[in-house]
A and B are shown apart, each in its own frame.
Chain A
Amino acid sequence: MIQAILVFNNHGKPRLVRFYQRFPEEIQQQIVRETFHLVLKRDDNICNFLEGGSLIGGSDYKLIYRHYATLYFVFCVDSSESELGILDLIQVFVETLDKCFENVCELDLIFHMDKVHYILQEVVMGGMVLETNMNEIVAQIEAQNRLEKSEGGLSAAPARAVSAVKNINLPEIPRNINIGKPLLPAPACGA
């Protein structure tokens, strides 16, 4: 079982927090912080497994993470999951994001947390791996997007126009160049 899926950036800012076990919000934040400090001090070229210890569920649990450009993807899993399998799964998840957002970068996750959740929901459900076939995942996401479009979306035309206007005063978006760095190198490597 997967206990939690956390995505945060190099500064520990949460981008996606998904617990499959109930924790009050402040504990969730604390876990995110502690996890961040654990993975932060690890070089990129050492192993991707961490014994989480008391963090979430005790000794049966491991933190399995991957670091992409500006983001850490951390899965907290118990011993029933295959370590290498989860690493592959993270790759599948990120590649799916890449397909759905077209060259995904941190900005996409920042502004479309809901969509990232919907994508994740097609990969992991209630802490169990639902689908690992990327094509299938993408197909389902696209079908749902079409359905949403046919309904007119959340904020129909007028709001979108306003949003475009609001977007104009955005001088600081490129301020942090990294934030727009694609998570995956140009030719996505095979999982």
Chain B
Amino acid sequence: MALKMVKGSIDRMFDKNLQDLVRGIRNHKEDEAKYISQCIDEIKQELKQDNIAVKANAVCKLTYLQMLGYDISWAAFNIIEVMSASKFTFKRIGYLAASQCFHEGTDVIMLTTNQIRKDLSSPSQYDTGVALTGLSCFVTPDLARDLANDIMTLMSHTKPYIRKKAVLIMYKVFLKYPESLRPAFPRLKEKLEDPDPGVQSAAVNVICELARRNPKNYLSLAPLFFKLMTSSTNNWVLIKIIKLFGALTPLEPRLGKKLIEPLTNLIHSTSAMSLLYECVNTVIAVLISLSSGMPNHSASIQLCVQKLRILIEDSDQNLKYLGLLAMSKILRTHPKSVQAHKDLVLQCLDDKDESIRLRALDLLYGMVSKKNLVEIVKKLMSHVDKAEGTTYRDELLTKIIDICSQCNYQHITNFQWYISVLVELTRLEGTRHGHLIAAQMLDVAIRVKAIRKFAVSQMSALLDSAHLVASSTQRNGICEVLYAAAWICGEFSEHLQEPQQTLEAMLRPKVTTLPGHIQAVYVQNVVKLYASILQQKEQAAEPEAAQDVTQLMVERLPQFVQSADLEVQERASCVLQLVKHIQKLQAKDVPVAEEVSALFAGELNPVAPKAQKKVPVPEGLDLDAWINEPPSDSESEDEKPKAIFHDEEQRHAKQRQPEAEEEELARRREARKQEQANNPFYIKSSPSPQKRYQDMPGVEHIPVVQIDLSVPLKVPGMPVSDQYVKLQEEREHRQRPEKDRRRRKKKDKDKRGKPRRHSSLHTESDEDIAPAQRVDIVTEEMPENALPSDEDDKDPNDPYRALDVDLDRPLADSERLPVQKHRNAETTKSPEKEDVPFVEKKIKKPRKKEKKHREKEREKKEKRKEEKEGEPGANTVTAAPEGGGEEPRREERGDEDEDGDNERDPEKASKHKKKKPKKKEKEERPKDKKKPKKKQPPGEEAAEPVENGALADEPLPPMSSYCLLAENSYIKMTYDIQGSLQKDSQVTVSIVLDNQSSSFLKGMEFNVLDSLNTRLARPEGSSVHDGVPVPFQLPPGISNEAQFVFTIQSIVMAQKLKGTLSFIAKNDEGSTHEKLDFKLHFSCTSYLVTTPCYSDAFAKLLESGDLSMSSIKVDGISMSFQNLLAKICFHHHFSVVERVDSCASMYSRSIQGHHVCLLVKKGEKSVSVDGKCSDATLLSNLLAEMKATLAEC
């Protein structure tokens, strides 16, 4: 034995610790993966050992490997073992590993519930803290529901360290278990005024996070936050609150008015940039929410803009970035204030930092006006040139287009200029945004009728130099513009100066290297051009010229017919045949132009992108109604032949029905097709594989023109956008006299106004610049009766939606948190909370959920009934003022035990219940009626071995370990005793005090007569006769929980202590001193602590022979074995080691380290329990207690 120990510790010396692992990995740079897999094998060996220190070390190493990307979920169970270690050192390692790798999909996570609960109620604040921290990372809906009440209790813990953690984790609990929000909210709100700044900050944090998602529910907290804002000095808290106000003000403008002043003061006074920045942000939000009517409105805006300017001008890039970010918010509502700082923004465009340049670009979008658009775009264009081949350049390009096209081109006064800009942009090599430019060209040409002539001339030039645009690279996205160019030239061919030249340009062999969809447009528009040329020539009576054109077509079209792109090929074939036919007609001198043009007659109108969606459903049309009744699936098999026959009949009917409308349908379809075919917006460009041309036959002989790309494209006759800048200046110059006159008038009016610079700036941008040409921007067509609504669909999966609940509505009884309460207080009132916890807790595996729900439903029904019958009891949300040794309270049904149905929960075994005082039974009488219903159907469970504590499917009856201590007309006391492994020889007594009167109870003091063996832990300095004050007061109808620690010498015998609770009851008539005597019963069971044990260790323990033995037998047991085990686990703090058929081994440990092993066997109607324990007296006492419990079954 001793040798083995020595050997074990020597082995341990050579176990790698974390540092060794890290060092090893660093020394094996070449074969790291191999080394790590070797280490993982070692870790697996270490995990198999019993020594918890070895396990913890292994888990610690796994956590490191997890960081390197190794999946360690296979060790989840070992992690749980380490989590349940009694030493903080190990526990912390376990929880860290769990927080890194547990998630909702981890199946063993269900096993942690009780361990976490135990740790949460641990007397050591760091055990609790580490459990809270871990839980915050892997809380699941089940854990949240089961532990919500425990955590809520911790929110009132005496240690601020625990309080702040408990408060923070509540947010996670709310997210996973939204039902907990309303019951927990009052306490959360209380914590806003917690004396500890950390707790206060945590509460602010949580409420801000909640309010951000559903601000309207938190408006009522505004006064409280306002108070905090004016009183707090913690910048973190201030920032959070100020951010929260930013979210609230849009909902309540009055709040905004109140905020302006303190916020402005803060802006002036604070030295913390972070705070200043958030203040400015919120002032902006306030100003946005206030439509008008603020006296100092513009002053505040000016203040913000000034402060932001300071930020932007700061050398700290971070401040510059944030300044620009905030500026863009002001821009949305007060563009003029921002426009004054255009210089600054443009300057930022030159910044070396891309984040800042992008922000500046965003700002520019809102800063343009008719006046400065040309100038700004010129500046941007120069940046485009500089930013060769970067994503930033693409960003610039889209921004230029966004800026120009915003609000239906409202800032563009000269569309010639805009077309030129677009043409200039086509010089960009390798941009992805060719289609954007193309779309703009099409849009402008279609909607601005006046510009068509100019556009066509530009586009024909572009087509003429197409080889330049589409030059070198097929990858070049810019060739998309040729699509637009071809279409515009074709569609508006009547404006072409030299149509024939353009036609030739479009028929060049090089065109076949373009992507298929562009070629297709080329082919189609070549015909349009051709038609218009024919018409021209025929009108001019030049039949030869017309025939020449036809000849050109016949010669060139075959190159498209050979295209590998189906669309091109098909169109080209059709067109070629058409042209050949025309050629024949022309040979006979038949005039054809008229007919050919007729192919393309008609004007195109732009259609709004959303038009299709907005077509109203005609009256009487139900889109969801079946056109034909669906075949019913109820026909049985033998009816099949009949069914077939039937089916046929149906089919006939099906055909007949739409017949009536067939014409109408065909007509509509036709109309729609035409609309789509003609509308550029409906053509979806799909870039075809670009290298196709290489595979095409005869590609070698196509002359490829080499182009010197360093020469900037300067197409003859193509105006460059710069010249428009001059033009505009000239125009402005001409308009100036008039403008001046106007301005003078204005100045007279507002003499006492602001600095002149601003006013002049404002007026200038206000003024319109006369457009260069009359522009008629055709608005996009919408279907008649279009619905104006833009229904914004909210994401139904949004996790925050569930938290959108009214927090001010008084708490309904059905919504309280799953709380364990004393049986009498439990009552009637809250169906939901009761069922949820106990059912769920027992059921570990997800697949059992269904059952759970069914059970819940049933329970609910019963409860409702109960509600009608039962007397209204005090509804209590218990609170533990001390964190130590607290077990969660859950509710239970009072009548259960009378059934002989002693409620036990197998997992939550750290509680126990003692004999129930007779008094209680009386109270519970009225509820007896329901009992039979609640009884679980006795089930025969499967005979498979069950893992430690795991349960079969059978639902268990609810259990509680709280039992009545004493009661009078004022107060009722229920208690529970719980041992803890951490501090041997100490137990914690949790007492729920329930005020049953209409008086206010205060000054409560708890005292017991210490025995030699058992002493109450009293505050330092107090004598053994002093009582311990209860750290709370009880308003009428409220209950709360207090905890008291007792030190025990010997635990082998049960004992009773006499005690008194004294208190002052105060009501309208005055206050009286009252007291209530009780007898506190410490059973032997209460010294046991549920401790998991594995079968091999268990076997060793039994073999060791150090244990004394004893046994009992109880007859007349009707309960299922499953429930029986559950009861023993719950009430006597045992855990199941192994279970085979109707035989199970169980284990527990006393607070002083006695091992207790049980073998429970179930016969027909009896149960025998063999026990082994290191102390014979303890064992016999325990078995006697157990016998009493079993006898009730």
Give the interface of A toward B (CB within 8 A).
Answer: 1, 14, 16-18, 20, 22, 24-26, 28-29, 42-43, 45-51, 80, 82-85, 87-88, 110-114, 117-118, 121, 125-133, 136, 140, 143-144, 147-148, 151-156, 158-159, 161-163, 166, 170, 172
Contact = CB atoms under 8 A, between A and B. Distances in A.
Interface in B791-844: none
B198 A133 contact: yes
Q: Is the interface of B mostly helix, strand, loop or mixed?
A: helix
A22 B22 contact: no
Contact of B318 (A48, A130, A151): A48
Contacts of A17: 67
A45 to B, nearest CB: 7
B274 A85 contact: yes
Nearest to A175: B26
A122 to B, nearest CB: 8
Contacts of A28: 69
B19 A82 contact: no
B9 interface: yes
Contacts of B71: 24-25
A111 B209 contact: no
B133 A162 contact: no
Q: Which of B89, B96, B352 neighbours the largest number of chain A CB atoms within 10 Å of its CB?
A: B89
Interface of B: 9, 12-15, 17-20, 22-23, 26-27, 53, 56-57, 60, 63-64, 66-71, 87-90, 92-93, 96, 100, 103-104, 124, 126, 130, 132-133, 136-137, 139, 161, 164-165, 168-169, 171-172, 197-198, 201-202, 205-206, 208-209, 212, 235-236, 239, 243, 273-274, 277-278, 317-318, 320-322, 352-353, 355-356, 358
Contact of B69 (A26, A111, A125): A26
Given A121-B133, A153-B89, A154-B53, A162 B14 contact: yes
Contacts of A172: 26-27
Nearest to B136: A126
Contact of A83 (B20, B209, B322): B322
A136 B133 contact: no
A49 B172 CA distance: 27
A49 B93 CA distance: 33
B92 A45 contact: no
B236 A113 contact: no
Given A16-B67, A155-B53, 17 more contacts: A24-B71, A25-B66, A46-B317, A47-B318, A47-B353, A49-B321, A51-B358, A113-B18, A113-B63, A118-B96, A128-B202, A128-B205, A130-B165, A130-B198, A154-B93, A162-B13, A170-B23
A154 B56 contact: yes
Q: Which of A18, A110, A159, A166 neighbours the largest number of chain B CB atoms within 10 Å of its CB?
A: A159
Contacts of A166: 20, 23
Contacts of B201: 129, 132
B318 A84 contact: yes
15 contacts: A29-B69, A47-B317, A51-B358, A80-B212, A82-B239, A82-B274, A113-B67, A114-B96, A117-B63, A125-B132, A126-B169, A126-B171, A148-B92, A153-B89, A155-B12
B17 A129 contact: no
A158 B355 contact: no
Given A47-B353, A50-B355, A159-B13, A147 B57 contact: no
A28 B12 CA distance: 33
A129 B205 contact: yes
Contacts of A112: 18-19
Given A25-B69, A111-B19, A121-B133, A46 B352 contact: yes
Contacts of B198: 130-131, 133, 136
A111 B104 CA distance: 30
A154 B57 contact: yes
A190 to B, nearest CB: 12
Given A20-B137, A82-B278, A143-B126, A117 B96 contact: yes
Contacts of A88: 274
Contacts of B93: 114, 154
B229 to A, nearest CB: 15
A84 B273 contact: yes
B197 to A, nearest CB: 8
Contacts of A84: 273-274, 277, 318, 322
Contacts of B202: 128, 130
Given A121-B133, A158-B9, A151 B169 contact: no
A83 B322 CA distance: 8
Contacts of A170: 23
